[in-house]
Structure 1
Amino acid sequence: MPSSVMPTTRQGGGHASPAAISAVGLRKSYGGKTVLDGIDLRIPAGSVFALLGPNGAGKTTAVKILSTLISADGGQSQVAGHDIATSPDGVRAAIGVTGQFSAVDGLITGEENMLLMADLHHLSKREGRRIAAELLERFDLTDAAKKPASTYSGGMRRRLDLAMTLVGNPRIIFLDEPTTGLDPRARHTMWGVIRQLVTDGVTVFLTTQYLEEADELADHIAVLNDGKIAAQGTANELKRLIPGGHVRLRFSDPAAYRSAAAALREVTRDDEALTLTIPSDGGQRELRSLLDRLDTAGIEADELTTHTPDLDDVFFALTGPAHVPNQPKETVR
């Protein structure tokens, strides 16, 4: 597998969506170590963007710069239409940040945590109570609102943390590993919350160590390695960058098997199992072309399966050589 892949820049056809976040040549060093080495990003409004990378790749540094917690050494970036260097207050007014470690105060109740956040946003007591009640209901925390946050489960604390972030009605939210430590049920609940935010028009900048999470949620994914963007695109685009994808046809009729082998190019035969393997990226166009050739020849396979690399394969191929890839995923058609 390749150790690096040129990034893709495809954003889809038609009119481009306005960028909620953009960065050009973003750089940051600590001492003599370069953490971000000129990264470029463009994140459309109302989408989920996932930044993947191994520990130390620079993900949290990127979040801190874009949320104005630290300054960049070079490059330009705009968040919600505001330059992060010249208009940091404008950026802060438009964003919310939920860090990897919960900001919930366990000594007070969930409701009190919400009201404290409302005070920090200088809301009136009446408005603060209204918004707190609405968000507690939205995140299914009304029954626990009067209980100390220390009694909450991990999933409840993460939901409360995100609810507190939404008190200021941000249009852009940075979520730094929001489901770390959660059980599968709580993680799926959080995914539903994130999807609803995007439905409401919020832009989500997500860092995660769960590749399945990025695959499930993200409209666009970038893989960060050694301070540089190794590749970016949709999940399917990234999977097609990695070699090893193919289509397998299985036949029960030996005559149909031989006819298909003669009609198709670049096939690998298994005469004992009556299967043919054809290199493919699994894309719709290639599959349609393959099926058209079979139809033209009057051949019908008993089973068609596609084998594509997953995001684990992509991640390890792009971030280092010490990888023994998983078996490709199969989808029976």
Structure 2
Amino acid sequence: MKQINTKSDESYITHNSSSAAASAPPAAASSISVKSTPEIEKKFVHHVYDAIAPHFSSTRYAKWPKVAEFLQNLHPGSLILDAGCGNGKYLGFNQDCFFIGCDISPSLIKICLDRGNEVLVADAVNLPYRTGFGDAAISIAVLHHLSTENRRRKAIEELVRVVKKGGLVLITVWAVEQEDEALVKKWTPLAEKYVEEWQGPGSPRATRVSSSLSLESIPESEESGLGGEEMKVCDKSEISGDLKEEKNVKNQQEYFVPWHLPYHRAEVSGASAHALATGLATKDDVKGAVVYNRYYHVFSEGELESLTNGITNARVVDQFFDKSNWCIILEKTS
């Protein structure tokens, strides 16, 4: 199979310099802010995947049938862009096609490189490919790690931008409607008060909290939602609080999902030591593991499709629910 040298052939890469961003006109300001990574993603997505990369990779080898079907049905010779390729398990899946992958995690990209894949480090909301470069693109289990609606929409726009007219884009995300409810009970729901931390001051959804609080400094007892004080005013407040809590559970979409890195893993002595020292990870002596929290925004039915409403050069050709994931296939129309 022909190899595309990403190290020397830069004809497909678009360069974005910091000086260009600094001199951008006011109209571009919102676009630049969307590309600025919120702290919650840096700490609880980027840092975590770099720390757990080898262990994570060892668990990621099975191909989802729906993704395999999509890749297998593409025309021979197609160039497929895998945005958020992880350990590269889909790269080269269809031997009649060419693959280029990218991921925000240098540690995962190194694993891909060691396997001989064509990859580079890149952000899903700012893909480094020229417009119309690929014949198809996939984004598998990536968008749920983006912490704002604007960033999730921007990632979809980027996937559409980098494929040719008529090109297909497959996107999968974790769903609110998880088939294994016991699994969800192991997740930590993030309360509304966290929103300001990752969206920034002035967010219409944000509630005011002390600027001195950080995500890891808030006691675990508060992470489940309502504080105890506002539920003890009177009987009427208790009823109202109970109803509010029930509504929050049903509508909950922001979570920390734990990853247990066993003590015997070699990487525990590296990044994990620093994470434990700084409070970004904890020890679970019962399970013999260092526990990392990964940020997830799980998607409700119709939410993924709604993010495409403002994208005028793409149409939805298929959408479906598969293995606790919402999935969508887009076609670029112009």
User: Which bin holds the TM-score, normalised by the shorter protein?
Assistant: under 0.3
The structure, 1 or 2, with the larger RCO (C-alpha pairs under 8 Å, 6+ apart) is: 1
TM-score, normalised by the number of residues in structure 2: 0.25
Larger Rg: 1
